[in-house]
């Protein structure tokens, strides 16, 4: 069994995989990581391999502890990957994007695929039918747009995310909801349309924290999977274990 450890700035996602299937998924605070790994080690005694993806800061003693108890891969730009990386600055490519592209070539081998990760930022990543990663785009996510309207203006309120009733907002709040949510939806649909004009056989994957919220409103045909990043990390671990 494999253990996936995806470390953010405050929270950590952990997933236990048996082959390609998720047996357990947890989200914990960073300070509880070692205790939770100890718990999982006792609960799933057959865990032998771990992949660590970290955008936050981990103490050396935490990494050393994991390395002492498991066969550890720490994902970075030098990790052996299941696709050809044609990004012009490969060392700056985010490890979350690396994981998502890996999941795509595993789930949809030799497909032209656009992976959209709707989280803090919205990232677009394209891999062609030769399993070559060409790059993509990065834009502000939904919450970042709400916050920027509030933080960079004098009078606009900070609102919670909400599906707008109409494209024409009849109040300041309604106008903000319309601008943010419809703006994101039109952006995503426009990007998908541009790729579809170039690649008629395009597969589109939507993932990330806002995937469920957006998938209900998008008109485009998409494959929504909230676990896509974890599945990609597991595939990288498998790929490096063969």
Q: Residue positions in the annotated binding site for ATP?
A: 6-13, 120
Residues annotated as catalytic are 96
The residues, any chain, with a CB within 8 Å of residue 221's CB and separated by 6 or more, are: 204
DSSP 85: E
Burial classification of residue 78, based on how many CB atoms lie within 10 Å of its CB (0-12 exposed, 13-18 middle, 19 or more buried): exposed
Contact 148, 139 (CB under 8 A): no
Strand ranges inside 182-225, DSSP E: 203-207, 223-224
- Short-list 91, 114, 12, 26, CA closest to 54: 12
Q: For the chain, what percentages of helix, strand and coil (3-state, to nearest 5) are there? A: 40, 25, 35
What is the enclosing helix (H) or strand (E) of 120?
Answer: none
What are the C-alpha distances in Å from 201 to residues 101, 111, 116? 17, 8, 17
Strand order in the sheet with 11-18: 21-29, 11-18, 2-7, 49-54, 71-74
């Amino acid at each position: 069994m494999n253990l996936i450890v995806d470390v953010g700035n405050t929270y950590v996602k952990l997933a236990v995989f048996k082959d390609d299937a998720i047996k357990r998924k947890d989200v914990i605070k960073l300070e509880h990581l070692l205790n939770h790994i100890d718990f999982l080690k006792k609960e799933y005694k057959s865990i032998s391999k771990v992949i660590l993806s970290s955008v936050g800061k981990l103490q050396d003693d935490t990494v050393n502890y994991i390395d002492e108890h498991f066969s550890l891969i720490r994902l970075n730009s030098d990790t052996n990957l299941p696709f050809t990386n044609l990004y012009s600055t490969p060392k700056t490519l985010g490890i979350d994007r690396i994981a998502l592209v890996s999941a795509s070539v595993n789930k949809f081998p030799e497909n032209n695929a656009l992976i959209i990760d709707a989280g803090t930022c919205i990232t677009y990543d394209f891999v062609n039918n030769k399993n070559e990663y060409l790059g993509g785009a990065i834009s502000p996510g939904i919450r970042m747009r709400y916050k920027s309207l509030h933080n960079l203006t004098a009078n606009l309120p900070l609102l919670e995310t909400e599906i707008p009733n109409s494209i024409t907002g009849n109040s300041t709040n309604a106008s903000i909801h319309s601008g943010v949510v419809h703006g994101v939806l039109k952006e995503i649909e426009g990007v998908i349309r541009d790729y579809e004009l170039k690649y008629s056989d395009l597969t589109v994957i939507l993932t990330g924290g806002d995937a469920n919220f957006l998938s209900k409103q998008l008109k485009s045909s998409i494959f929504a999977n909230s676990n896509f990043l974890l599945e990609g990390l597991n595939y990288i671990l498998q790929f490096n274990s063969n």
